[in-house]
């Protein structure tokens, strides 16, 4: 079940809190509060009619959100007794458990202050609540069209919960987030990390001794990324294990190494380093949410290969088809290749799915066809990675920046077109989107040899889809329209598709789709950079990964 907390005592606590809060001297009419909500009609029908402050209304909504999160888990558990093998319901349960955690993580902040929050704290809270809505949407998408009447109760509950969580996010932003929220200014040269040099690792003498034994005789590609360092500017490592298929080191499988990582670690305690030697690992790898701050480094992104072939055609959900699934906060992967070999004929087949906050990938390769990289939720950063795919192959509803990456469109099935992105933002208050900065967008040779195949920068999967290409090279294979409709006029008037300072023959915007936002200026584009949209200056420096916080001059 959801929690060991006593629901009766929790209800009593919130009831007393509610009575206290509604004596606030800053009370305003409910109708006035609801005018700024995402759904004014739901807001007016849900909130008490008595005048109260925004903070009081938000706390009232928080109470009900917690109750609904627990109730939904109980409902899904009941349906699973009737449909134990229905994989979409299992996805819903996992997503619901995450939601209970995320909502609970906001309780202390919402209940202890009425002041506008500092930038980094506000961004974290908005990220969590954005992910709550994404998780509800993902559950709904998995159940939609199943034709199973037994899940009707779950679908109905989802509809209410989604409106409730959206209201909570609306009220939270009204009460705790400054309308002019901006990242604190750092020195202009905020390019952190090791560039072309080695990744600096700070270790205890014991870990260093073991690590250096691992590195003995390794190829330059591995040594370049893995060097110890006594200075204060490297990534702190606390524990080292190695994976080798032949049994030369600690584990023969990646999942066994992940299981050995400590639970609920913190960045201050240091990353748990898993070194994966060269080889082809046919595993469905999962980094669960209990395994935080795991640093997984391969011996080379064409030498350490994790591969699988799960796909929707053969019965998986898109959500669970990934070869590698990351749900643990602070995960950092480098020098890895992650593939899904199901092929274009199997349609949705994910290589990597990330549902974890403050995740980083450096010098990795992701290969698939449809739905290669599922940037599902929360804050994610990809640097100097290669992504290969066909239809919607970078998709999801995370706040994600891809920087200095190579994005390669492949030849799809006959009759298909390529869409590089399909962004899934469903609520205008979510801080999510796909932001492609200083990347190179090119076709693979097989696609280049098929000039009749259409390729687009993206298409609006959901109502408030948001994708921005900035300072990137776009090759000539991209259709002059740039952006492709999803289904007729669906989502065209509410999506946000923009470009800034791109180059290359495919960057000409003179014939772009009329419904797209189009070219934006530097002031607007800066909103979608690492420092602003990811609050990356707070959590990226400890990874030692190079990044540009703002636009590149």
Which residues have a catalytic role annotated? 392
What phi and psi, each to the nearest 5 degrees, are found at residue 302?
-115, 10
Question: Beta 191-192 vs 547-548: how paired, if at all?
Answer: antiparallel
- CA distances (Å), origin 121, targets 130, 368, 377: 14, 36, 18
Locus of tokens 């998986």:
316
What's the start-to-end Cα distance of the chain, in Å? 52
Across 185-234, the runs of DSSP E, i.e. the strands, are 191-192, 200-202, 227-228
Instruction: Give the DSSP H or E segment for 496.
Output: strand 496-500
Measure the CA–CA gap between 480 and 510, rounded to whole angstroms.
8
Q: What is the DSSP string of 402-465?
A: EES-EEEE---STT--EEEEEE---STT---EEEEES-EEEE-HHHHT-TTS-EESBEE-STT-
| 381 closest CA partner among 223, 189, 532 | 532
Look up residue 112 and give its two tokens.
């202890």
Measure the CA–CA gap between 308 and 339, rounded to whole angstroms.
7
What phi and psi, each to the nearest 5 degrees, are found at residue 532?
-90, -60
| 393 closest CA partner among 377, 380, 410 | 410
Tell me what percent of the chain is helix, strand and coil, each rounded to the nearest 5: 35, 25, 45
Measure the CA–CA gap between 354 and 308, rounded to whole angstroms.
16
Look up residue 304 and give its two tokens.
């350490």
| 456 closest CA partner among 506, 508, 517, 382 | 506
Residues 238-256 as b or e (16 or more Cβ within 10 Å = b): bbbbbbbbeeebbbeebee
């Amino acid at each position: 079940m959801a929690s060991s907390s006593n629901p009766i005592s929790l209800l009593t606590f919130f009831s007393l809190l509610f009575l206290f809060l509604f004596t606030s001297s800053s009370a305003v009419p409910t109708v006035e509060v609801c005018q700024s909500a995402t759904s004014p009609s739901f807001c007016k029908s849900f909130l008490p009619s008595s005048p109260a402050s925004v903070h009081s209304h938000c706390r009232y909504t928080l109470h009900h959100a917690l109750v609904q999160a627990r109730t939904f888990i109980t409902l899904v558990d009941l349906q699973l007794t009737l449909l134990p093998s229905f994989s979409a319901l299992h996805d819903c349960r996992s997503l619901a458990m995450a939601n209970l955690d995320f909502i609970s993580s906001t309780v202390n902040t919402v209940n202890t202050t009425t002041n506008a929050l500092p930038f980094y704290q506000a961004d974290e809270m908005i990220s969590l609540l954005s992910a709550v809505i994404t998780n509800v949407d993902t559950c709904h998408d998995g159940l939609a069209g199943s034709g199973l009447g037994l899940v009707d109760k779950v679908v109905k509950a989802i509809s209410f919960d989604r409106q409730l969580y959206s209201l909570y996010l609306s009220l939270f932003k009204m009460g705790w987030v400054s309308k002019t929220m901006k990242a604190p200014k750092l020195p202009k040269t905020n390019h952190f990390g090791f560039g072309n040099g080695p990744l600096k690792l700070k270790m205890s003498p014991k870990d260093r001794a073991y690590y250096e034994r691992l590195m003995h005789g390794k190829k330059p590609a591995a040594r370049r990324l893995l060097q110890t360092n006594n200075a204060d500017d490297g990534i702190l490592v606390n524990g080292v294990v190695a994976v080798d298929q032949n049994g030369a080191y600690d584990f023969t499988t990646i999942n066994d190494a992940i299981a050995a990582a400590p639970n609920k670690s913190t960045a201050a305690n240091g990353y748990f380093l898993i070194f994966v030697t060269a080889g082809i690992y046919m595993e469905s790898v999962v980094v669960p949410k209990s395994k935080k701050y795991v640093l997984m480094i391969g011996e080379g992104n064409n030498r350490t290969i994790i591969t699988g072939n799960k796909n929707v055609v053969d019965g998986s959900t898109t959500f669970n088809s990934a070869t590698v699934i990351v749900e643990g906060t602070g995960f950092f992967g480098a020098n890895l290749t992650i593939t899904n070999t199901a092929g274009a004929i199997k349609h949705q087949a994910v290589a990597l799915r990330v549902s974890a906050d403050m995740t980083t990938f450096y010098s990795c390769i992701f290969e698939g066809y449809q739905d290669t990289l599922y940037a599902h939720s929360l804050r994610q950063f990809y640097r100097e990675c290669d992504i290969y795919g066909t239809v919607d192959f970078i998709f999801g509803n995370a706040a994600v920046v891809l920087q200095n990456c190579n994005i390669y469109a492949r030849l799809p099935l006959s009759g298909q077109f390529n869409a590089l992105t399909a962004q899934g933002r469903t609520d205008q208050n979510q801080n999510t989107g796909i932001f492609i900065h200083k990347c190179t967008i090119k076709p693979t040779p097989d696609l280049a040899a098929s000039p009749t195949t259409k390729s687009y920068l993206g298409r609006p999967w959901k109502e408030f889809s948001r994708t921005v290409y900035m300072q990137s090279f776009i090759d000539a294979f991209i259709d002059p329209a740039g952006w492709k409709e999803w289904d007729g006029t669906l989502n065209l008037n509410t999506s946000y598709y923009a470009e800034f300072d791109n180059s290359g023959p495919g960057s000409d915007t003179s014939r772009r789709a009329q419904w797209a936002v189009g070219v934006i200026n530097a002031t607007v584009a800066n909103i979608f950079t690492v420092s602003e949209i990811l609050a990356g200056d707070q959590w990226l420096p400890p990874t030692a990964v190079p990044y540009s916080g703002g636009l590149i001059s």
